[in-house]
């Protein structure tokens, strides 16, 4: 297997001078830890820098490292598509952010890669990690009334409890009646219009 190239990270270090970027050992692609204070700046550089152009966020997920501390790692899988997208070299890069258990929050990157929107919702849903500045941070896979975050290591594997997995449309009774009434009136108007046209034709 060829050596993993970490040299492009120097471009990021130059562009975002204050950021701590630690390269870890990695078997498949370049990977680095970044501090969350500079996460957004680093991400924007990764996407926009002329020699980097990581325009494709392949996936965003988290890992729970309980009992070690810091407990959480949020993982960003990035790709630069290279000649396929009219840019230089095709590259892959894995960015990670470490988070403490009592302060599991980090800024959203959904403004940089819109793909992160639902992916961050999923991490919030399953790990309970808060993405500050996310436009619509609510559960995506589990029902709204679910308690707990199942992919945390301290979440029991088997729980037996009554679930109400059916989430109703958010309508009051009055709104529902009004909606039905409007639809009926609309149908009646349409029917009258058709009858009227026929009358003219005859």
Partner 1 sequence: MATRTETLTVNMGPQHPSTHGVLRVVLELDGETVVSADPSIGFLHTGIEKTAEQKKWQQIVPLVERMDYLGPQSNSLGFCLSAERLLGIEDAIPERVQYIRVLIAELQRLSSHLVWFATHAMDIGAVSVMMWAFREREQLLNINEMVAGFRMFPSYFRIGGLREDLPRGYKEVVKAFLEKMPGKIDEYESMLTKNQIWIKRTKEIGYLTKEQTLALGLAGPMLRAVGVPYDVRKTFPYSKYETFEFDVPTRTEGDVFARYQVRMDEMRQSVRIGLQALERISPSGAYDCGDYRIVPPPKDRVYTEMEALIQHFLIYSQGFNVPKGDAYVPIEGPRGEQGFYLVSDGTNRPVRVKSRPPSFYAIQALAPMVVNGLIADVVAVIGSTDIVLGDADR
Chain residues that interact with partner 1, rule: CB under 8 A: 1, 25-29, 31, 55-59, 61, 63-65, 75, 77, 79, 81-82, 84-85, 90, 92, 94, 113-115, 117-119, 122, 139-143, 150-151, 155, 157, 169, 179, 182-183
Nearer to partner 1, 40 or 142 (CB): 142
Q: Which residue, 44 or 65, has its beta carbon nearer to partner 1?
A: 65
Strand, coil or helix: what is 136?
Answer: coil
Using DSSP, state whether 93 is helix, strand or coil.
Answer: strand
Measure the N-to-C terminal CA separation of the chain; round to a whole number of Å: 83
198 vs 133: CA distance, rounded Å:
57
Q: What angle do CA 17, 70, 95 make, to 5 degrees?
A: 45
**Least Å distance between CB 180 and partner 1?**
11
Using the minimum distance from each CB to partner 1, give the nearer residue, 169 or 195.
169
From the CB of 176, what's the least distance to partner 1, in Å?
10
Is the bond preceding residue 19 a cis peptide, omega within 30 degrees?
no
**Rounded least distance, CB 61 to partner 1, Å:** 5
Query: In terms of DSSP H, where are the helices of the chain?
Result: 9-15, 39-48, 116-127, 173-201
Closest separation between CB of residue 193 and partner 1, Å? Answer: 13
């Amino acid at each position: 297997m060829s050596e993993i190239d970490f040299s492009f990270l120097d471009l990021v270090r130059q562009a975002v001078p204050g950021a701590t970027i630690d390269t870890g050992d990695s078997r498949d692609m370049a990977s680095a830890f970044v501090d969350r204070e500079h996460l957004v700046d680093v991400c924007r550089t990764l996407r926009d820098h002329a020699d980097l152009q990581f325009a494709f966020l392949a996936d965003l997920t988290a890992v729970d490292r309980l009992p070690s501390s810091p407990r959480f790692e949020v993982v960003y899988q990035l790709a630069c598509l290279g000649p396929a997208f009219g840019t230089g070299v095709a590259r892959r890069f894995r960015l990670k952010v470490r988070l403490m258990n009592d302060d599991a929050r980090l800024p959203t990157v959904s403004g940089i890669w819109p793909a992160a929107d639902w992916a961050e919702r999923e991490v919030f849903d399953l790990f309970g990690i808060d993405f500050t500045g996310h436009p619509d941070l609510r559960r995506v896979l589990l029902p709204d009334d679910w308690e707990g975050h199942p992919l945390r290591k301290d979440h029991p594997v088997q729980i037996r409890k009554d679930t109400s997995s059916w989430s109703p449309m958010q309508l009051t009774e009055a709104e529902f009646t009004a909606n039905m009434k409007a639809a009926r009136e609309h149908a009646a108007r349409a029917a009258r219009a058709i009858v009227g046209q026929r009358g003219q034709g005859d």
